[in-house]
Every structure is written in structure tokens, then in C-alpha cells.
Structure 1
Amino acid sequence: MNSQYQRHAALPAKANMEAHTVRITRRSLRTLTSLLFGVLLLAVLMVLVIAHQQNSDSIQQDANLMRQAWQQQQQEMIVDARDYANWGEGWKNLHLTVNKIWAWDEENFGPGLYSEYHYDGVFVVDGAGKTRYAVIDGKLSSVSLESWLGAQSILLLGEARKLHDAVARNVMIDNNPAIIVAAPITPGKVRDLPTLPGPPSVMLFVNIFTPEKLQALGNSLNVLEPRIASSVDEAQYEPRLVEPVVQGDPLVIRWKPKDPGFGVIWMMMPLLLFTALAVTLVTRRVIRHALHNAVISDRRFEMLAVSQSELADSEERFRDLAEAASDWIWEIDDQGRLRYLSSRFTAVTGHQVKSWMGRSLDQLISHPSHSLVSWLMHQEEEVQRVPLRCQFMSASGERRIGQLMAKTIRRNGLRAGFRGTVSDITHEVDAEARIQFLSRHDMLTGLANRVQLQEYLTTYLESVSEEDPLFVISFDLDEFKPINDTWGHSVGDAVLNEISQRLKNLLAPNELAARLGGDAFILLLRETTRAGVEYRCRALQRTVHQPIISGSHQINLTASMGIVSAPQDAAQPEALLRLADIALSQARSAGRNQWMWYSSDMANHLQSKRDMAQAIEAALKNKAFSLHYQPRYQLQSGKLAGAEALIRWQLEDGQWITPDRFIPLAEEKGLITAISDWVLMRACLDAYHWGEQRYVSVNISPVEFRANDLVQRVAHALRISGLPATRLELEITENVTFENPDRALEIMQGLRALGVRLTVDDFGTGYAALGYLKTFPFNGLKIDRSWMKEFPESQQAQSVVAGIVGLARAFALTITAEGIETEAQLKALKALSCEEGQGYFLGRPMPLAAFNARLREELLIN
């Protein structure tokens, strides 16, 4: 009875407790709902504010880009104007007199300024204000500057003359904005030029920004639809760029804003609306379930426990992150004493944390110029966030470079100390120093590179004099390339390093050795006499001649040198290096392993070679070459076997240029391939009509074996001409076989595969061993004319010729004698069973028409 009463008595208490829980739940949920919707409303407002700020930032960024681009256009035009205005040639041809041939015809100051620099107007105005020269839209014009530009041109001319320098101003031309740069014409650095009384002439460049140019400028800057403001009212609106002009209202350029903030609104608003709807649905569901959830309190306690666990995990995560990071964390009080160091401090420095607690930060970390603690105390908080480079000592005594970041600790508005991090950037600093070193030194040898060489020359040439000259030596190793080709680049690099070290050992502290690449070096010597320089050159030769041991290889080298002196020969870095290179080239041409001083005759000789090379190119282009054919006969039967094609070059004045004058130069300048292609094609086309049994012989330069396309070029000539490959003979000197034997063999096998005949030319004058006759696929050999001079009168000549004939017969090669000039020679060769021959006695080289006539005569005789 009592227990039942107790149960019934408990029911109202339970019901009251449930009602109390419902009221608390409802009150809490109403508050929570209000907060949630308040947060959503605040989020909407923040999105709108962010969108507006992004639009403003975008407009400001575009304005900055347009302003910088406009100013950059002005600066580039000023640089161009200075280059042309401060040019001695411009002073002579545009100020002293207006030389339109120099300016326009030779394109020194003509259409290139329009096509390359896009300058719509180029003017030269003399001291009296008269337009002496004008180029408009890339065309020579007689329009005056004042009639084209108006009165504002007078202001520009006066301002340029007043400032004695280039000035850039904005103007409006036909409602289009334009930049005009005016610069007074000066002799520049050229001295002793004549002058004219009165003000200097002024050079003007005009760049008109048409709508197309403005659009192109906008595209390059990602600025949309830039244009000129169409009215005063439109000019007041943003976005815009306002620039002053010489006369009239300021220049206003407007463009279409990007409005990136609208994209943020379109992206975020649907998300916020969806969130609001979700919050509403979730809130209703929570209210419904909360009223009927009997274990709400237990769940809250569980959630609290989970939150505490997550908080503990978060703290542990922070500790793990601090210990795993490469930086170590520090904290000091307002007196600069350390009160916290992360355990990472020990891993980085080797010091124990406890040994540094309470000590000054300045004892641990130092700066070259000031105390870190004092610096922190007196700097603003924004400055403290800027990384500061500092130094500290590791426990092993090694000096390390660190980067310090700091932030002020404040409690109740008062400074309570500082905390921050230190990153060990020692390796980064070392790498930066290494990069700086490599920027001025050769990576392989450690010698100075072109940058340091230029700096040295620029510095020393400012004070050089006849009493204290500077000598520049262009230094090259002779025959270095075969070392790389034969033993590999590792051996070549070792040789370069050894030579570089020897060069450095021979230089004084105020002298310099630089490597320009490959085996090319430059030496800068501070001697007072030529005898002193030559003494140093002999020392250089001796040190280069010393053998170099690389692995199992002993390498012996020689060197060629070209010497030039400053200021006697030149006083500019580029000129000195160029002249030294000319002298080096002469030393090489004279036989290598020597030095030569630069002289003006060398430059003349070089110019002559350049003129000859240009003439060769012109002859190829104008088809000035021709072929003569020297008959070749079968000596035993007397029949005409074919002919050797010999190139001839006759100038317009009737002078003949012999092949020995231009063929070596063509080989040197890389023109021999074009000449050879022409000879091959012409000879094959001519020989096609000679009959099935007769062949044509063409000489091939050894240089052509250095490329891999000789077989393809010969095949092309045969295919176009229709000449059977068996009727083409290629004459090759025996020296080809030892310059690069493997490549030569591969190319010859390709030619033989075509069916072409290969003959050794000038046999007995080269240096190859007889074994190459067995190795290489030759069809025949020619006895050089030098052995025929004393044949058959000389017993020695008879023995040599007979030996060559016997050698050819032993290798089953067709033997041809060249240089047959007497009947006695012909009879003696027949007696030796020589198969073919050619020479003046049998027939001189002749044009194609004469050779065809001889062919017809032989047909009649037969």
C-alpha cells in the first residue's frame, strides 16, 4: 500500500520534472534558433561585404596594372629615344646633315621603327623648328611635325632642349591617346665630331594607341575592353586611368570591371539559402525529438566527454606538430629572459633546454649589428612579423644561420614578453652563396666566366694607360676536340681542369683567367712591356707542354695564343676580345703552338676572307660557277672513258678565280656542301648524254664526311638527273680515312650500296697507312701528278709509279695516272699496264660544248 502510494506520489514529481525539462529545452532551442538565424544573416551580410571589397580590389588592381603598363610604355620609348639620340652616327646623319640614304635606305632610322617598335610617327626637327625628316606609319613623309601634331609639339621641343634629355608626354591625336618622346640629338660618347651653332636637333617618337592597340594592351594585362572615355560625364566613373596631357583635358581610359564579387554572391547565396532551409528542418526535428528523448542529459554528458577528449587530442596534436616541425619555438619575458623552448630546440642545436632557461635571448641568438632583445622592444608589432636573419652556435661549436619570427605577448593590454620561431636556413644560405659563385665562375673549372671577365675589363679599362697597359690573351688548346672524341668527355673535362689550375698558378693576384667555353680561355695580364708578355707566353707554353696523366692516358698538348693590348689596340671590352680572337685565328692558321700579336693587317686579311665568302655566296645565288671537263682515256685502247668535272669561277670583269683560292675558304665557312651539291647535280645532268659506257668523276671534300647526309645528297642528284650510279665516280683524298675512320667507312659503304665508284685521289701524298686500301671499299686510285713530273726520266719516279701500279693491281683497283704531259710518259705508262690516264697531253679541261664536240669526233673515228 505504501509502495503503491510512493509510486503514485512519484508520478507528479516525474511529470513536473518532464515539464521543467520541456520548458528548459524549448527555451534553449528558441535561443539556439535565434542565434543560428542571426549567424546566417551575418553570413549573408559578410558575403555582400566581401563581394563589394573584391570588386573594389579588382578595380584598383586593374588601375594599377594599366598605370604601370602606361608608364612602362613611356619608359621603353625613352630608352629607345636615348639609344638613337645619343648615337654618334645619328649626330652625323640626322643633325649635321639629314642623310636619308643612311636613315631610310640603309634602315638605320627608317621603317624598322614602325615594323619592330610600332612607332606611328618618327620625326627629326632642327634647331629652327623645321621638320627635317619624317616617317609616318612606316613610310617616308614630307609632313611637318607641327601640322601633324599641332601647337603642342612646340612645348615638347622646348622642354626636351631645356632638360638636355629625353622626355615623354601624353597627347591626344585624332581622339586617340598617344605617347610622344622627344630627345635632343647628341654626339653620345663619340669625341671630336663637328658641331653646328644653335640649338640641337630633336628626335621624336610617337606611339598612337588606337582602339586596336588599347585592346591589345588590355588583353596582355587581362583588363576588359579598355577605351577612351566618350564624354566628360563618363570620365568621372570608375574604373578609370587618368593621365595628364600636354594640352587640354586629362586623358581618361576606362574599361569594363571584372566584378569578381558577383561570382562570390552567386556561389555563396544558394549555399546560405540551402543552409537556412537545412537549419530550419533540423531545428524542428531536434525540438520534436528532444521533447521525447528521455536520455537527453546522458547524451549531453557523453557529448561533453567527447569534447574533452577532442580537446585533449587537439592539444596533443599541437605538441606533436611543434616537435615535428623544422622550426624551434621560443618564448621570453619582458626582460628578454628565456622561459620556454620547444624540444625541437635540442634536435636542431644540440643544446639542452633546461640549460638555457632564464638566460638572455641575446646569449643564444645574435645579430651582426644590434641586440635582438633591444630590437624587439623598440619595434612595432607589424615589423616583428618580418623575418630577421640571425646567427646561433650549435652545441658542437658550428655557426648556424637562422631566420627569426617574433610576436608580442600581451596580457590585459600590457606587453608580457615575446614568442616566436627560429628556422635553420644554413643550407639555404650556403646554396644561395653557391649560386652567386656560379653566376660569376665557370661551373667546370672554377675560373671566371664571361660575367666576371666583363666586370674586370670594365673596371680596369677605366684606369688603363700607356704606362700601365692591360694585355688580353685569347688562349686556345690545339687539337683538343680529338681528345673528347677519342677518350670521352670525362677525360676532356679532366684536361680542362688541369690546364685551368696551371693557368691560375701562373697569374698574379691582380690578373685574371676566364673560360669562355670548350677549350677557349682569356688571360688578362698586367705587364708593362711586350717583352714581359712574351716571357709569360713562353711560361704558358711550357706549362701546357707538360704531359697530363688521366687514368691510363698520357696527353700532350700545345696551345695557340692571340695577344692584344689596351689602350694601344682598343679600349672597349668587346673590341679587345674580338681583336684577340683575330690574332688567335692567325696563330692557328700559321701552324699553331705559337702566339701572335694583333696588327691591323690581320683585320684586313679577315675582311678579305669575309668579302671572298660573301662573293662565294653571291656566286652560288647568281649561278656564276661553271664546270669544265678534262677527258680521261683508256690508255691501252685509246678510247674516251669519261671525264673529271672541274669547277671554274669567272668574275664579271673576266678574271678567273682558281679553286685553290676559294674551295678551302668554302670548307672553312660551311659553304662547301652547297657548292658540292651544285657540282654533283650539274655533272650528273651533263654526263647523262655521254653514252652508256662513259662516266663522270667528281671530287668530294673531306669536310663533307663530317656530316651524315652525303649518301642522301648523292642519291638525290642521281635520282633527279637519271644518271645510273655506276657512271658516277667520286674522288676522295686518302686523309679522309683517318680523321674519323668509323664514320668514313659507314659513309663509303652507303655510297657503294648505291653503285657509285670510289677512287682514291692524289694517292701517295697523304699520311694514311696502306691497310686502308683493304679496309675501305675503293674501286680505284689515282697516281698524283707530283710523281709524274720526273717520270719516266727519273729512276726513282719510275720505281714509285711502278710500285703504285703493282699495289693497285694487288688490291684489284683500277689505276689512273693524272698529269700526263708528254708522249714519253704515255708510252711508259702503257708499258706498265696502267689502265686510265688524263693530262694536258691527252686533253686540257674544256667547257661542256667542247667536250661534247670531242665525243662526236670519237664516235666518227670509231
Structure 2
Amino acid sequence: MNGEVALSRISWLWGWFGETEPPSSDVHLSLLRTLYNKPAGLVLATAIGSIISAVAAFSTGDFLLEAGAAALTATGLARIAAMTFMSRKGGAYPARWLEIVYTSGAAAYALALGLFAAAAIWRGVDVAVQVMILPFVVGYAIATAARDAGRPVIAMMQSALVGLPLALALFAEGSLAYVTLAGCITLALPAVGMIVHTIALSLQDATRAAATNARLAESMKALARTDVVTGLANRAGLDHALGETVEGLGPDDLLALFWLDLDRFKEVNDLLGHTIGDRVLAAVAERLREVAPTGSTICRFGGDEFILLCPVTSRRATEALATRVLANVTRPLRLDAERLEVPASMGIALLPEDGADADALMQRADLALYHAKIGGKNRNRFYDPAMSRNLMRRREIEAELRAAIQRDELAIFFQPIVDLDSGRIRTFEALVRWFHPEKGELMPDEFIPVAEDTGLIVTLGNWITAQAARTAVHWPDDVTLAVNLSPLQIKAPGAALGILSALRDAGLPPSRLELEVTESLFLDDNHATENFINELAAAGVHFALDDFGTGYSSLGYIDRFPFSKIKVDRSFVSGPKVGRKSEAIIRAVAELGAQLGMDIVAEGLETIEQVATVRAAGCSMGQGYYFSRAVPDYIAATLLAHERQPLAARRAG
């Protein structure tokens, strides 16, 4: 408000200089602050003025000039002191005070200098003294006008206060030369004014442009740090906030980072469209704002991931906040006529407990989120140091597994699938085994999940298919090969072509290959999956639905895809809850298979009683330790040779 008052008071004079509109408050303040920049020039000018006035006064011995010299020096020193104080604390004062201090000092010094020069002329000092004084006075008037052109009123005031007293004194002296000089000084003032006007306009335009550019830069910076869908901070905004927050933490402060991932958001986009998907994201953002403590930063990290960063008082308080956040985010959401469930998983890490810096905090929260998702989703997990040890172990396994494929440390074992009526081997399922040269045999449960998480399962799966096909080509033609496929392997580019190439290289007919897939493959309605199955089925490859009954079992899969076999999961055969219900389920599946002309395989058979039960229920095939464990290729060949010997030969043997 004070700046606006000051502007209104001088707007009329600004208009005299040709500007129809005074500068804005921000520009006005910026121009004022330029007056306080680099005061060294004023210090030098004050020193020169003091020296000249002192020499002039003492060379003449005139008391009036001596008093004037002392007043000029004192005024200059007072002005320098005031400017130094204000420049150091200029940001603490409004524009009005900055202008008053500078204007008062400039006016006082200019008037003192002008009066001293006029007194020297009026007292008739020696011509040599006048020659010393006049150039300095005229030069000061011009120099200050240029330096202070950012504030034209101040600039012209100084020129007038210096020049007019001198011009009056010269005119009063009466000689032609002095009168002419007085006229020139008087006429020079408008010329100086025009120069000041030009410089002032340039400075004002430059200052306005700088202010506009600064505002645009701040606006662009804010936009660059904001997510357009939710209005939250984006990844760049989080990085900025996280850095500043961590730097501002005290030694006893705690900072919590909550990393959320919506568990089934892809289904929303696929089924309802991206417009609804964006509205879901905006709703989740609003729910996070509702529960976020004061001083929090909320970020949409990307896709369907959100991060909440906030100071906390204790781990217990963090646990309570995590419960509130997850409960609020996962409440059913209604958009138009749709009622949506929004399950979410969340990983939480604390600084400095779980990490010493921002990068470590992010890594720990991300790792906790990973464990929350693999632990069943729609839950939260705090970071635990064991997670890092597990991660290091998984990375070690990944690196060693890549090397193991190259060094032939892996081997293919084969477990028979037996016809329950004849007892003959109909199929061998290929199973990979890893014999580490230092750690011994590593179980598939340990390295297969790592291969799936890292994408190495694609290379491993192709290798298993190729190796197993080279073995199976030597079996009797009526014995088929079964190979498990990972969803990642199926969705890899050129997956079908890779399998057909492996069969062609081994010389194994496609009709003797049976690919086992699980129901999880069909959770994503992926055209690549359908194309893969159809392409291989057209070439003669058979498909089996593995682990039936443990996932999202649907008869739609059986009707839609060309399955020739269903494998009933071992939990219905030899699991802890085996009983009348499980037997009824097996019977129902077997009846379904009989009606559709499909073989039903019972997995996990370990006793003769289990074999009798599943056979009575209608299963046509069985697999399990009762018949054989997985064995190397040469033992598989021995089993086939033994069962195909004539009965007399076997008895003789």
C-alpha cells in the first residue's frame, strides 16, 4: 500500500517525462533497489567532492567556504552511512522508506554541492579554484542523472539542485562569459532530462521484462512439478520437496514415506476407459489429501502409484496413520452409475531409521511395497532389514542363474504322467533342476520366482523347451512331452515362433508337445495370449490347463481355448483338507472332462489309496511320487524301455 501511495504522488511527474503510466509496485520497488546497488561510485564521488571543497576552502582562507566544505563532507558521510545500512537490510523495508532515505540523502548532498559551488563564484575565488570546482560540479550533475535514471524524479532533482544555484551565481556575477555559462547550464537541464527519460524507459522495460520472466519461470516451474490429472506433485515435485524436507530435518525428527500402488487399476482402464481411470486417480488424490497431516507432500509418482511424505512423531503414530490412509483410499468409490472397489498396497519406510538419505528412504519404501504386493496385496508393510537381505539374495541368484545357463549347470528332469487304466506312461513333464557347483542343488521354488520377476524366465523357458525336445525325440512316438510356460514367456515377442523353431531344430513333431499354462495367464484379457495359443494349436501343439481349482477357475477358459487336458491341483488329492468335498470336486471335473473328451490328470498322488480314489472319481491320468519322482533323461528312457518289454522278458530279467 505504501508503494502505491508513493507512486500516486509522483505519477504526474512521470507523465511529464512522457510515460502515460507509472511503473507497477513490483517494478517500482526493483528500480528503487537498483539505487542502492554498488555504492562504491558514490563513495568515490563523495571523497573527490570533499577533497576539492577542502582544497578550495583552505586555499582561499574564506570562512564561508570552509564551513561549506565541512557541511558538504558531513552530508556525504551521512548519506553513505544511511545507504550502507539500508542496502544491508533493504529487504526489510517498504518502497516508501527506501525512497525517502535515498531521496533525502541525494537532495541534501546535491544542494550542499550546488551551494558550495555558487558560494565560490559569489566570493570571487581565484580562477584556478573555479576551474577545479566547475568541472566536478557539472560532471556530478550529469553522472548522477545517468546513475539514478531509474527514478527520474530523483535524477532530475539532483541535477537541478546542483546546477541552478551555480547558474544563479554565474548570472549574478554579470560578465558575458559567466552569463553565457549560466545560460548553457540552464539549457542543459532539459537535455539531461531527455537522456534520463530514455534511460528510464529502457530500465523500466528491462525491469518489467525481468519481473514477467521471473513470474513465468515460477509458473513453469510449478507446472513442471505438478501432475495434470490429480493436481498433486509429480515425480519432479516430489524430488524437490523430498530434498528440502530432508535438509530441514532436525537430529530427532522422523520422516515417513508411504508408497501406494492401486492393485487393480489396469482393469478400470481396460473395462471402463481412461476417462474413468483419470477420475479414479483424482478421487484417490482427494482421499489422500483428506488424511494427510499438515506439512505433508502428496505425489502421484506415475501411473497408479502415489507417495505421501510427512513428518511423524513415532513409529506407532506412523502405523496409525498408515491404517487411516489405506482405509480411506480403499473405500468403495461411486462414479456415475459405477461402484468401484479400489484395493491398494502400501510400503512404508522411516528416515532415519530405515535410511540415512532421501534415496535410501525411497528404495526402502519401494521394497516394502513389493513385499506388500507379493504378500497378498491390499495391505501395508513396513520396511524390514530382512527385505534388503532377501533382495541381495535374489540379485545374487539372478546373476548366478544367467551364468548357470551359459555353463550348463542346469539339467532337465522328467516326471511321468501315467494312464490310470493301463499303468503305462503317456507323458513326461519336463522340470528344471539346478546343481550349483558350490551350493549344491537349488530348489525351483527358490530360483523360478526370481527368473519370473527379472524377465529371465523367457530365456530359461526357451532353453527348457529346446533341451527337453532334444530328449523327447528319442522316446516312442506315443509318448508326449509336457512343458510349463510362464505368462511372461508367452507374452514375449515371437514366443510362438521360438517354440516352433525349438521343435524343428530337435526334430520333434508339434503334436508331441503339450504346453501347460495356469489360469493366472487369463486374468489379463490379452490378445497376444490368444494369438499365441491359436498359432501353436494350429501347428498341432496341445495345451493343458494346470493347477485347476486353485485360482480364478472359469469354464469360460475351457470353452474358449483348445485345451486337451485339465490337471487337478494336488491340494484336492493329497492336501491337508482332503475329504468328501474335494472328492466331489474331482468327480465333477472328471465328469466335465469326459463330456468334453478331455483327459483329467490328478497331481500329487503319493499312495495307492489316493490312486484308487481319483480313478474311481473318473480321472484318466495320474502324476506323483507314487509312480515316480522327476528323474534324469537316461532313467526316463529306462522306465520307457522297461514298461515296453514283453512280460516274459521282464520276468526273465
TM-score range, shorter chain: 0.5 to 0.7
Aligned twin of 1:499 = 284
Counterparts of residues 290-305 of structure 1 (less than 5 Å) = none
Aligned twin of 1:760 = 545
**Structure 2: which amino acid aligns with 1:776?**
F
**Structure 1: which amino acid aligns with 2:28?**
H
1:577-616 Cα deviation digits (max 9, x unpaired): 2222222223333333333333322222222222222232
Three-state SS of the structure 2 residue aligned to 1:845 is coil
Counterparts of residues 631-650 of structure 1 (less than 5 Å) = 631-650=416-435
- Distance in 1 separating the partners of 2:23 and 2:471: 94
Three-state SS of the structure 2 residue aligned to 1:368 is helix
Aligned twin of 1:684 = 469
**Which of 711, 717, 725 matches 2:502?**
717
Aligned twin of 1:784 = 569
Aligned twin of 1:481 = 266
**Which of 356, 369, 375 matches 1:584?**
369
1:244-292 Cα deviation digits (max 9, x unpaired): xxxxxxxxxxxxxxxxxxxxxxxxxxxxxxxxxxxxxxxxxxxxxxxxx
Aligned CA distance change for structure 1 residues 570 and 763 (closer, same or farther; 3 Å): closer
Identify which range, 362-371 or 534-543, moves more after superposition. 362-371
Question: Could you list the runs of 5+ residues in structure 2 that have no partner in the other structure?
Answer: 1-11, 36-98, 104-141, 151-187, 648-653
- Distance in 1 separating the partners of 2:491 and 2:149: 66
Counterparts of residues 591-670 of structure 1 (less than 5 Å) = 591-653=376-438, 655-670=440-455
Whether the 8 Å CA contact 2:574–2:610 is kept in 1: the answer is: no
Q: Identity across aligned pairs (percent)?
A: 31
**Which of 323, 329, 347 matches 1:538?**
323
More helix per residue: 2
Aligned twin of 1:802 = 587
Aligned CA distance change for structure 1 residues 457 and 795 (closer, same or farther; 3 Å): closer
Aligned CA distance change for structure 1 residues 705 and 799 (closer, same or farther; 3 Å): same
Three-state SS of the structure 2 residue aligned to 1:646 is strand
Q: 1:725: how far off? A: 0.5
1:684-714 Cα deviation digits (max 9, x unpaired): 1111111322211111123334444321221
- Distance in 1 separating the partners of 2:644 and 2:215: 87
Q: Which of structures 1 and 2 has the larger relative contact order (alpha carbons within 8 angstroms, sep 6+)?
A: 2
1:702 has 2:487 as partner: yes
1:418-470 Cα deviation digits (max 9, x unpaired): 56797997997765443121233334333234444344444443453464322
**Structure 2: which amino acid aligns with 1:855?**
L
Q: 1:632: how far off? A: 2.7
Three-state SS of the structure 1 residue aligned to 2:523 is helix
Aligned CA distance change for structure 1 residues 370 and 714 (closer, same or farther; 3 Å): same
Three-state SS of the structure 1 residue aligned to 2:29 is coil
Counterparts of residues 425-444 of structure 1 (less than 5 Å) = 431-444=216-229
- Distance in 1 separating the partners of 2:424 and 2:398: 41
Three-state SS of the structure 2 residue aligned to 1:735 is helix
Q: 1:496: how far off? A: 2.0
**Structure 2: which amino acid aligns with 1:722?**
G
Three-state SS of the structure 2 residue aligned to 1:782 is strand
Identify which range, 617-626 or 671-680, moves more after superposition. 617-626
Three-state SS of the structure 2 residue aligned to 1:841 is coil
Aligned twin of 1:367 = 28
**Which of 325, 330, 337 matches 2:15?**
337
Counterparts of residues 739-754 of structure 1 (less than 5 Å) = 739-740=524-525, 742-754=527-539
Counterparts of residues 505-524 of structure 1 (less than 5 Å) = 505-524=290-309
1:634-675 Cα deviation digits (max 9, x unpaired): 333444323111111122247322222221222112111111
- Distance in 1 separating the partners of 2:616 and 2:295: 74
How does the TM-score come out when normalised to structure 1?
0.51
- Distance in 2 separating the partners of 1:809 and 1:656: 40
- Distance in 1 separating the partners of 2:584 and 2:320: 50
Three-state SS of the structure 2 residue aligned to 1:510 is coil
Aligned CA distance change for structure 1 residues 783 and 448 (closer, same or farther; 3 Å): closer
1:775 has 2:560 as partner: yes
Three-state SS of the structure 2 residue aligned to 1:575 is helix
1:564 has 2:349 as partner: yes
**Structure 2: which amino acid aligns with 1:694?**
V
Identify which range, 452-461 or 688-697, moves more after superposition. 452-461
Three-state SS of the structure 2 residue aligned to 1:445 is coil
- Distance in 1 separating the partners of 2:229 and 2:15: 50
- Distance in 1 separating the partners of 2:606 and 2:278: 54
1:271-330 Cα deviation digits (max 9, x unpaired): xxxxxxxxxxxxxxxxxxxxxxxxxxxxxxxxxxxxxxxxxxxxxxxxxxxxxxxxxxxx
**Structure 1: which amino acid aligns with 2:232?**
L
How much is the aligned-residue C-alpha RMSD, in angstroms? Answer: 3.9
Three-state SS of the structure 2 residue aligned to 1:546 is coil
- Distance in 1 separating the partners of 2:25 and 2:380: 60
Aligned twin of 2:136 = none
Aligned twin of 2:175 = none
1:797-840 Cα deviation digits (max 9, x unpaired): 54333322210011221233333444455456556664433333
Q: 1:411: how far off? A: 13
Aligned twin of 2:598 = 813
Aligned twin of 1:399 = none
More strand per residue: 1
